[in-house]
Amino acid sequence: MAQKYDMTIGGKSVMADSYIDIRNPANTDEVVGEAPVGTSAHLDEAVSAARQAFESWRYSSEDERIDACQAIVKVVTDNAEELAVLLTKEQGKPLGGLGSRFEMGGCAGWAGYTASLSLPDKVLEESDEKRVVMKREPLGVVGSITPWNWPLMIAIWHIVPGIRTGNTVIIKPSPFTPLSTLRMVELMSAALPKGLINIISGGDELGADLTSHPGINKIVFTGSIATGKKVMASASEHVTPVTLELGGNDPGILLPGTDPVPFVEGLFFGSMINSGQTCGALKRLYVHENDLNLTAQALVEFSKNIPMGDGMDESSLLGPLQNDRQFNRVTELVEDAKAAGAKVLIGGAPIGGANFFYPVTFVTDISDGVRLVDEEQFGPVLPIITYKDLDEAIQLANGTHFGLDASVWGVNRDETAKVAERLEAGTVYENKHAEIAPHIPFGGIKCSGFGVEFGEEGLAAYTSIKVINAAV
Ligand code: NAD
C-alpha cells in the first residue's frame, strides 16, 4: 500500500475523506503516494486556524520572524535528501544536475536570504510641524497556489516572505505534485507556532475556492496565464491583492555571425532546464539565416551527451514530462509543427512505454504563426527560427502577449546591450538565460504576470503601507 500524506491545519495532521494516487512520471505503474482531496470545509478550517495565528503573529518582533524563517531553513536543510527523493519520484526531475537536490538548495538559499531582508519604517518628513512615518504592515492570511514544475522552491518563494512580514499562510499545491509540499509543510509546521503555515490539498476547484474566500487577504499565484486570469477575476470579489507569476514564451536572439560553440551549453540548459518545464526557460531561438546550420548542429551535438532517464538514476540529467496533460500537449505541438512543414533535427516523438518521457527535440524550418512558436510549449522542444536582420528579430521576439524573460547572445557587448534595451520582458539576459536569485526582483510584464517576487520589492508585496502623520 502506498503511503498516505495528510494536510496540516493549525499544527495538526488532518485526513480527508478521499485520496488520489500520485504516480511516478518516469514509470506510471508506480504509485508514489496518496494525496488527500481537501474540501471547502477544510479550507474554512485552514482559514480560521491561520486567522487565529495571525492575531498574535502580526505583533511578532523582527527577531521572532527571522527565527521562524531560519527554522524553515533548518527544516529544508535537515530533510533535504528525503524531500529531494520524494520530489524526484512525483515530479520526475533528476536527483542530480539542475534537479531535486538543486531545488532543495534553492529552498534553503531563498529562505535564508529572505530572512535577512527587512522593511524598516521610513521617516518621510520630520519638521517643526509634523513627523510623518511610513510603516509596512502585514496583510493577514496569505493564500498561496503553486504549480507542478518547481513545487518546493515556489512554495518557499510564497511562504517565507509571507511569514517574514508577519502574515500567516495557507498553501494549496498542484494536484499533480502535492506530496513533497505536504511533507515539507508538515515538517515546517512542527518547527513553527501553530497555524502559521497550513496546507490543504485538492483539485483546481479548491484553488478557485481559496481565491474567492473572504478570509484570505492576499493571493500569490504561480501557474498558467489562463488560470491567472481566473484568479484575478475571482480575487476582485473581495478586492484581494494578487501577485501573479504566469507563463512565459521567452525568446532568445543570437546576434548575426555569432559562433554558437561558446554559447551552446548556456543555450541548451537555458532552454532544457527541468526538461523545458520552467516558466523562464528559453522557448524560441532566433538565429540569422546564415547561422542556422552551425547553430542547430551545435545544439544537436551537445544534446547527445545529456542523459535523459529515471530521475532516481544518478546519471540522469533530464527527466520526463510531469503529467499526461503536458505530455499530450508537447506531442500535439510537435505534430502540428511537422504538419506545417517544420523539420525535426533530433527527437520529435515520444520514447514510448508507461512513462511521460519526451526526448530533447530541435525544430527548424518554422516561423511565427505556428503553435510551437506562438504558444508556451513547456517541454524539451526548441524551435529555431531564422531572421534576416536584427530589427526583424527584435520585432518577432516582442510580437507576443508573453513578457517574462528574453535573452540576447553574442560577443559584441555594445550590440548585446543595445538589443537588451529593446527587448520587452521582466528580465533580459545577455549571454545567459533562466538565472534567478533571491536578491533580484523577478516577474513578468504583459500577460506573464503582475507584480514581482524576491528582493525588497518582492517582500513589500506581502505588506500594506500605513502612514502615521503626527502633528508636533
Ligand atoms: P495551472 O495554472 O494549470 O495550475 C497552477 C495551480 O493553479 C494549481 O495548483 C492548480 O490546481 C490551480 N488552479 C487551477 N485552476 C484554478 C482556479 N480556477 N483558481 C485557482 N487555482 C486554480 O498551471 P500548471 O500547469 O500547474 O503550471 C504550469 C504553468 O505555470 C506554466 O504556464 C508556467 O510557465 C507557469 N509558471 C510560472 C512561473 C513564474 O514564476 N512566472 C513559475 C512556474 C510556472
Q: For the segment 287-320, what is each residue's pLDDT rounded down to a tens digit?
A: 999 999 999 999 999 999 999 999 999 999 999 9
Grid coordinates representing 381 are: 522542444
Do 202 and 350 have their domain in common?
A: no
In a domain, 104, yes or no: yes
Considering the domain architecture, whether residues 62 and 189 belong to the same structural domain is answered as yes
Same domain, 214 and 267: no
Going from the C-alpha of 424 to that of each of 251, 376, 389, the distances in angstroms are 10, 17, 18
Tell me, using a 6 A CB cutoff, whether residue 211 lines ligand 1. Answer: yes
| 181 and 73 share one domain | yes
Residue to mutate (ligand 1; options 222, 282, 323, 442; most atoms within 8 A of CB): 222
pLDDT on residue 1:
80
In a domain, 62, yes or no: yes
Pocket of ligand 1, candidates 22, 145, 225, 447: which has the most ligand atoms within 8 Å of its Cβ, to mutate? 145
Ligand 1 proximity of 208 Cβ (cutoff 6 Å): yes
Phi (first) and psi of residue 81, to 5 degrees: -70, -40
- Residues 177 and 151 sit within 8 Å (Cβ to Cβ): yes
| Residue positions annotated with a catalytic role | 245, 279
CATH of the domain at 390: 3.40.309.10
Kindly give, in sequence order, each residue whose CB lies less than 8 Å from that of residue 205, ignoring residues fewer than 6 positions away: none
Give the residue among 309, 44, 88, 273 at the shortest CA–CA distance from 179: 88
Would you say residue 34 lies in a domain? yes
Within a domain: residue 56?
Answer: yes
Q: In whole numbers, what is the pLDDT of the chain averaged over residues?
A: 98
Q: Same domain, yes or no, for 76 and 191?
A: yes
pLDDT band at 206 (very low <50, low <70, confident <90, very high): very high
For the chain, the domain total comes to 2
Query: Is residue 41 one of the residues assigned to a domain?
Result: yes
In this structure, is residue 1 part of a structural domain? Answer: no
272 lies in the same domain as 416: yes
Domain range for 28 is: 7-246+445-471
- Judge if 33 and 148 occupy the same domain: yes
pLDDT the model gives residue 348? 98
User: From the alpha carbon of 211, which atom of ligand 1 is closest?
Assistant: 20
Mean pLDDT for the stretch of residues 430-453: 98
Task: Assess whether 318 and 351 both reside in one domain.
Answer: yes
Q: Kindly state whether residue 19 falls inside one of the protein's structural domains.
A: yes
428 — phi, psi (to 5°)?
A: -120, 125
- Cβ atoms within 10 Å of 127's Cβ, excluding its own: 8
Query: 450, 242 in Cβ contact below 8 A?
Result: yes
Question: Looking at the structure, do residues 234 and 318 belong to the same domain, yes or no?
Answer: no
- In this prediction, residues 220-245 reach a mean pLDDT of 98
Q: Are residues 291 and 241 in the same domain?
A: no
Closest by Cα among 243, 238, 241, 242 to 213: 238
> Is residue 370 in some structural domain?
yes
Mean pLDDT across the stretch 151-170? 98
> Is the pTM of the predicted complex or chain greater than 0.95?
yes
**Banded pLDDT at 144 (limits 50, 70, 90):** very high
| Ligand 1 contact, 295 CB (< 6 A) | no
Per-residue confidence band for 251, with pLDDT thresholds at 50, 70 and 90: very high
E strands, 331-440, are 343-346, 361-364, 381-387, 405-409, 427-430
Residues 234 and 357 in one domain: no
Residue from 38, 151, 46, 162 nearest 100 by CA? 151
CATH number of the domain within which 62 lies: 3.40.605.10
For residues 261 and 188, state if they share a domain: no
Amino acid occupying residue 340: A
